[in-house]
Chain A
Amino acid sequence: MTETRPDHLTWRHWVVTLLAIAAFSIIVFRLYQVQIVDHSLYLDRALQTRHGDYKVPAPRGVITDATGYPLAASVDTWDIYIDRFLWSDINLAVPAAGELGALLNLNSEAVLTKGTSATIGDILVKRDVNYEQGLEIRNLDLWGVRTLPSARRTYPESNLARQVIGHVGIDGVGLWGIEADYDHLLRGQPGSYSSELDPFGRPIAFGGNTDNRPVRGGEVQLTVDRFIQKIVEKELDRALEEFNSSSGSILVMNPRTGAILGMGSRPNADVTPNALEHQEISDLVRNRPITDLYEPGSVFKTLTAAAAIDLGRVTPETTYFDEGVVVVNNESIYNWDFQAHGEVNVRSILQKSLNTGAVWLSEQIGTRDFYNYLAAFGIGKPTYLGLSGEATGLLRQPSDPDWYPIDLATNSYGQGLAASPLQVLTAVNVFANGGQLMRPYIVSHVISEHDVRTFDPVLVRQVVSTDTATKISALMNDVVDGMQWHRAQVDGYAVAGKTGTTIVSTKDGYDFDTTIASFAGFLPYEAPEISILVKIDEPSGDLTLGGQVAAPVFSRVASAIMEYLRVPPRDAMVSNP
């Protein structure tokens, strides 16, 4: 075979070589431009395209009642989005819109229009889709449809104890109540998932990814018992209707520990997302037993009597002469019935709720000691319950420039000062607890993933001696069970309590036609299990006094709770040998 190829480089070789060199030079130049000059720019673009970062929400913690029943819980849902970039391919978007519309019970045309009309970002189609339904959509892997995990807060008992529990906004943040105050604990820590994506935006199974699991929110257990809470709210509604009143509160506590067993107030609101837009919502959802102040009235006479007895200035049998009126600083103070009762003892002062008697007791105590005792009872200071919005109270001290001697007189029977129902009942609990003031609390356990915190009862101080507490308890028992007609009596149980009727203060003074009717007491008197404060604001009609309005409500609530707590009555029918 003859060799035909030349043994030297021809011009063709040179052309091919030069073309190759030119091509490689262009490639090298472009590589230099892309990889060195614009390195960071392309790196960012690549990361944006290639990497997807997803926020994984943490399941919000549960709020349970004292029995462990969830008063607030979270269930997983999905938010459905459309990737408008992928839906720009109309041939693929139409069938996806059809299926998505059918699954979500939406008009497919509307879904398609929505998914193709926007120019930027992913488009939210539906929020809070049920878990199973969302999972079905996710598993179908519809073109350009993204399912992002979300959660919905549920309140199985609906609006029960809603002012206490609070509410969570659309962003998953607590707005008020326990939901807001313990938000940092309930919300947990969201996780994140970062993954390499394929050209269609789907995570690559074997691609580089980071996965930070969310830490679920902690659990908060309340001392509130839903059965007691139900009794409280049911009787409160009934009372407001019966006495044609627009607002009121009922508070139930364990006087020996300070635990709040039930706390209800009206008005309230059916909390829905739409309701949140109303301005008056904050007025409807506030926890009135701790936020609202009122003049406690005659319930306060128990504190005055306790101070006088504890100081040894009087005994339950010490007498004074009631003329029906007492003049202090040229101001006349009358009894509620405008009657003179003659010679009466301390027991009668409480039984008949004599204002003049309370003034006389305050004079026996003296100004400095009186206010020292009020401070010891916690009046004028927050109780440190642990919920936000707690009112401090209004109490002028003798050192204040706007304090006058008549303040001592009016304060002795619960006027001219203001306290929250919680402060008043906490003070009354002192008599049920051997003279010891307990700090009220509403959260019993806080449970995080690795820790359980238990809140034990806290003794604040010994306010009065045990003997004084016993004597005042006995006097309070005489107020209820010693008066044949008293409406606070509970069948089968000895009750200690005191009524209160206050005229309502206004900007210009007092409105003598409106009252706040209240009753505070505890039972069984011998070994108290519960204490209750009932406060009905501005009852209208013939019955407006504490003994007429609040006392029967106390009786009904107490009777139902005694039955629920299975506290044996005095006259049980059968006893096993």
Chain B
Amino acid sequence: MSNPGTVVNSWVASSKSTHMTAANPVLTGENHKFVSLQRIGPFRQILLVGLLLGVAILGLLQVLQTSQVASAGFELRTLQAERGQLESEIRLLEAGIAEKARLTELHHEAITRLGMVQPQKVLQLSVQEAAPHGVPLPRRYINTPPLIAQEQIAWWEPLLERIPGFD
């Protein structure tokens, strides 16, 4: 069995002398490949390397995208949970306000805190000013949230959309 040093030597030597390749059948296959790489020329070599790099980058992009989707999903769930919690708190606060504004509460506050008393006599005055408007219909449940500007997308994301199978 040949040792590694011998192989390297033979491999290097084979690039210079083809007859030595024929003499060493074990290395014949590698020699052919090596030779064909040498023969394709520098432009093609660059192209080949670029192609390999491109494939690698695409793979990386996919990993990036998957990672970003996962992160966005997690963030979305966190925000949804936060929104749910805030909505619950809003409902609690509204119920609290309603409790404070109940008629018995208002009556009690008027008498105890503000010291108001029932009028002994009611005097009506006519003025030529329109009465203030009543309380408008609460729209808290139908307010459309303001549109939020779309986030800046990463430079590589449009690239993915152009590749079949990445949509």
Contacts and interface: CB of A to CB of B under 8 A. Distances in A.
Interface of A: 59, 61-62, 64, 67-70, 73-76, 131, 135, 154, 156-158, 160, 205-206, 211, 213, 216, 218-219, 221, 226-227, 230, 445, 447, 449-450, 452, 492, 563, 566, 568-569, 571-576
Given A59-B91, A452-B142, A70 B135 contact: no
Contacts, number: 90
Contacts of A447: 141-142
Contacts of B91: 59, 73-76
Contacts of A76: 88, 91-92
Interface stretch (B22-30, B96-104, B109-117): B96-104
Contact of B141 (A62, A211, A213): A62
Contact of B98 (A70, A492, A573): A70
B88 A563 contact: no
B70 A206 contact: yes
B137 interface: yes
12 contacts: A64-B138, A68-B138, A70-B94, A70-B98, A75-B95, A76-B91, A76-B92, A206-B73, A211-B80, A445-B137, A572-B126, A575-B126
Question: Residue among B98, B102, B126 with the most chain A CB within 10 A?
Answer: B98
Contacts of A67: 134-135
Nearest to B71: A206
Nearest to B73: A206
B122 interface: yes
A573 B125 contact: yes
Contacts of A574: 125-127
A278 to B, nearest CB: 25
A227 B138 contact: no
B136 interface: yes
Nearest to B134: A67
A562 to B, nearest CB: 9
Interface string B82-94: 0001011101101
Contacts of B131: 566
Task: Identify the 10 closest CB pairs spanning chains A and B, nearest first.
Answer: A572-B126, A156-B98, A76-B88, A68-B138, A572-B124, A67-B135, A575-B126, A576-B128, A574-B125, A75-B95
B140 to A, nearest CB: 9
B74 interface: yes
Given A452-B142, A576-B127, 7 more contacts: A59-B91, A68-B136, A70-B95, A75-B88, A156-B99, A206-B70, A211-B80
B32 interface: no
Contacts of B138: 64, 68
Given A69-B98, A492-B124, A226 B77 contact: no
A569 B87 CA distance: 46
Give the secondary structure class of A's interface.
Answer: loop
B137 A226 contact: no
A221 B98 contact: no
B123 interface: yes
Question: Residue among A59, A76, A566 with the most chain B CB within 10 A?
Answer: A76
Contact of A226 (B74, B103, B141): B103
Contact of A131 (B92, B98, B103): B92
B137 A157 contact: no
Contact of B135 (A62, A68, A156, A449): A68
A437 B143 CA distance: 36
Given A59-B91, A131-B88, A211-B80, A157 B127 contact: no
Nearest to B99: A156
A353 B123 CA distance: 35
A70 to B, nearest CB: 5
Contacts of B89: 131
Contacts of B103: 157, 160, 226-227, 230
B102 A157 contact: yes
B123 to A, nearest CB: 6
Contact of B95 (A73, A205, A219): A73
A449 B129 CA distance: 38
B126 A216 contact: no
Question: Residue among B89, B124, B131 with the most chain A CB within 10 A?
Answer: B124
B124 A569 contact: yes
Contacts of B74: 205-206
Nearest to A226: B103
Nearest to B136: A68
B141 A68 contact: no
Nearest to A56: B84
B131 to A, nearest CB: 6
Contacts of B70: 206
A568 B130 CA distance: 12
Contacts of B127: 574-576
A346 to B, nearest CB: 34
A76 B102 CA distance: 20
A70 B93 CA distance: 12
Contact of A572 (B80, B125, B136, B137): B125
A572 B102 CA distance: 31
Contact of A216 (B122, B129, B141): B141
